Structure 1
Amino acid sequence: MPPAKKSAAPKAAATTTPEIDAARHRAVVAVGAEDFLAERVVTAVLAAARADDPTIERRDVDLASESGLGDLVEACSPNLFGDAAVVVARGAESADDRMVAALLEAAETGEVRVVVLHPGGVKGRKIVDLLAAGGFVVAPCEKAKGRAVDDFVARELHAAKRKATPEAVEALRVAIGDDLRSLSAACAQLVSDVQDDPLTPESVAVYYDGVADVPGYLVSDAVLGGRAVEVLRRTRWALANDAGAGPALSAAVAGGVRGLARVASAPRGASEADVAREAGVPPFKVRTLREQAGRWHPAALAAALVEIAKADAAVKGRSVTGRSMSDEGLDRDQGTYVLESTLLRAVRNRSR
């Protein structure tokens, strides 16, 4: 009689709150393509561990790297000082048998907490089954759909002690889409900036109507039009959706200011077609740009061109002093601060 086949681990039910259950366990495998939920699982496990011992450190390992096995063994081993840790192992779909054995041993000894991240799909699914059979708790991190997205928004607001009407939730999804990271950022900003409770479709429309992906030209238009609140709101929303969007935003604003400067310097009698050709803008925008140029002091326009060039360098990690570029490196938050303050200063000084 042939041996019975080993059954696969039961598939965990889909959820948008996998971190709630995962936080209680010392060995977790987060499975699914939703990186945002997987990050929350890691954060929850780390927070639970530090609630017991504030000195616990996080150790990250890439199982897909050439040194993955050695890095994993080292991360799961206690150091000379006996410090505990939470080991976060990415790339589980590329793990080999030795790595799986090391993970199972770490879970069994219990000297460290382990969170394994698997992107879902067919590749490496056997690894998930082996880990689950060895005591790992499966945290489903799949892309949310339909009603699950509405429930996610409701929970995000409930956590902030706020509510939203069903129509407001629908308006938010229409404007933002179903990306959980973007929806979470939108909820946080609405809670911070809107006093209405419950939130209404009008509340959502004020901030997010049609700005699911904020193009750089919208930030540029807000700068040229002198709308400071809109500049800050659109810039922060774009960066909340894509933390690396800074260079694209600075380039868009720089292009807009250069176009405005060309329009402002065009001869008074030049036709809209000639001005459009010289400024590199569509003819239909010339009239608007001429009106905007009339509200900019020439010196403020020239200063804005210089300052935005410096801000562009800042969001790329470089600091500019005077005419020279220093070797000082800026992190992303510092670059973002320089960009925001530069744009707001340009708007504030445009008529001076």
Structure 2
Amino acid sequence: MPWTQASPAPVVLVSGPEELLAERAAERIVARVRETDPDVEVVRVDAAQYAAGELAVLTSPSLFADGKVVLVEGVERSGDALLVDAEAYVARPMTDVVVVLRHAGGMRGKRLLDAARAAGVPTVACESVKSDADKASFVQDELARAGRRADARGVRALVDAVGSDLRELAAACAQLVADTTGLIGEEAVQRYHGGRVEATGFQVADAAVAGEAGRAVALLRHAMATGLDPVPIVAALAVRLRTLAKVGAVRGRGAAAARELGMAPWQVDRAAADLRRWTPEGLATAISAVAQADAEVKGEGRDPRFAVERAVLRVAAAVDR
């Protein structure tokens, strides 16, 4: 289940590497418990520091029948003592205590996870949000929970500006909700996050793919002057060109074929619009230039900054005018 559906239970498994979603799941569970028991005690346990028998002590009945939520954090870092105790507890949990097991991923503790799932323990999935489509969905959900909406261009601009980190993306959504009114568009995002947008590799890539060589180089130099490494800039160029190639391969086969790419509709529409300025030969030339730059910025060249600037110019020059 998603974190928005996390609810109290004798044992709840919060599984996955995305820390923000895991924190929200735990906070929601505690809040739901406090709705009926405002004085509930919340105990946090670091799995790496766990001592044998500690779980039994923490979950034992209280003399005053006080409620308790036990948050066991970092199960993937735990020793054998916790895994043994937790597996036994999952089989026979206390009904008046809520135990939340937080596992960020990896093979450590897999047997406990399997036992929890076999016992029907509710699981909150906190998978990494990596693709632009998933980040766009996250933005839309964040705004919807606050009673707000953004248009497609506004969502895209926000993801391009601060989409590398989910926590920062959530904070950006909160700022826009607090400081704007009505439908959130690209102009509002640029007003509050324009400086960050200009410092991202994706803005450089967008300008290059549009054939705007002067603007692309200006953005590139600004980005590197503010500390952005050449490697992610080349990666952004590669992502944009791969998107063009993928959409170009299914163009003319209908919306169903585009959906197979796993992209958000606005990404497909944007790529289709960009492709009007590209020929297959130009796209091949640009991809080759970026591949060369990728090798050079990762050690095969002497000057990574020169390599990425040359790639930007070659990509812009490959656009069919």
TM-score (norm 2): 0.56
Distance 1:27 1:210 in 2: 45
The counterpart of 1:77, out of the listed 51, 60, 77, is 60
Q: Distance in 2 between matches of 1:128 and 1:59?
A: 21
After superposition, the CA RMSD in angstroms is 2.2
Residue aligning to 2:172: 186
Which of 13, 29, 52 is 1:29 aligned to?
Answer: 13
TM-superposed CA distance for 1:22, in Å, is 2.1
Instruction: Give the conservation status (yes or no) of the 8 Å contact 1:27–1:136.
Output: yes
Asked if the contact 1:176/1:210 (under 8 Å) is kept, the reply is no
Q: CA deviation at 1:126?
A: 2.2
- Aligned counterpart, 1:92: 75
After TM superposition, the structure 1 = structure 2 runs for residues 118-157 of structure 1, keeping only pairs within 5 Å, are 118-146=103-131, 147-157=133-143
Q: Deviations over 1:187-210 (max 9, x none)?
A: 111111112x21011100111124
Alpha-carbon deviation of 1:89? 0.4
Q: Is 2:142 aligned against 1:159?
A: no
Please give the per-residue CA displacement for 1:85-110, whole angstroms capped at 9, x wherever unaligned. 11100121225342223431563x31
Counterpart residue number, 2:34? 50
Look up the match of 2:185.
200
Based on CA coordinates, which of the two structures has the bigger radius of gyration?
1
Matched residue, 1:231: none
C-alpha distance 148-112 of structure 1, shift in aligned 2 (>3 A): same
Paired letter, 2:19: D
Moved over 6 A (4+): none
Give the number of equivalent residue pairs. 195
- Taking the aligned partners of 2:19 and 2:114, their CA distance within structure 1 comes to 20
Identity %: 37
| Letter matched to residue 123 of structure 1 | R
Normalising to structure 1: TM-score of the pair?
0.52
Matches of 2:134 and 2:71 in 1, distance apart?
A: 27
| Structure having greater relative contact order (Cα 8 Å, sep ≥ 6) | 2
Paired with 2:90 and 2:79, the residues of 1 have a C-alpha distance of: 12
* CA–CA distance in structure 2, aligned partners of residues 212 and 76 of structure 1: 49
- Check the 8 A contact 2:8/2:33 in 1, yes or no: no
| SS of match in other structure, 1:167 | helix
- Whether the aligned pair in 1 keeps the contact of 2:43 and 2:71 (CA below 8 Å) is yes
Within 2, Cα distance between the matches of 1:122 and 1:212? 38
Q: How far apart are residue 52 of structure 1 and its match?
A: 1.7
Higher helix share: 2
**What CA distance in whole angstroms lies between the structure 1 residues aligned with 2:59 and 2:10?**
13
Q: Deviations over 1:47-98 (max 9, x none)?
A: 1111121111211111221x43343222212332221111100121225342
2:170 & 2:62 partners in 1: Cα distance?
37
Cα 1:103–1:41 shift into 2, 3 Å? farther
Q: Is residue 63 from structure 1 mapped to residue 34 from structure 2 by the alignment?
A: no
User: What residue identity is the alignment partner of 1:165?
Assistant: D
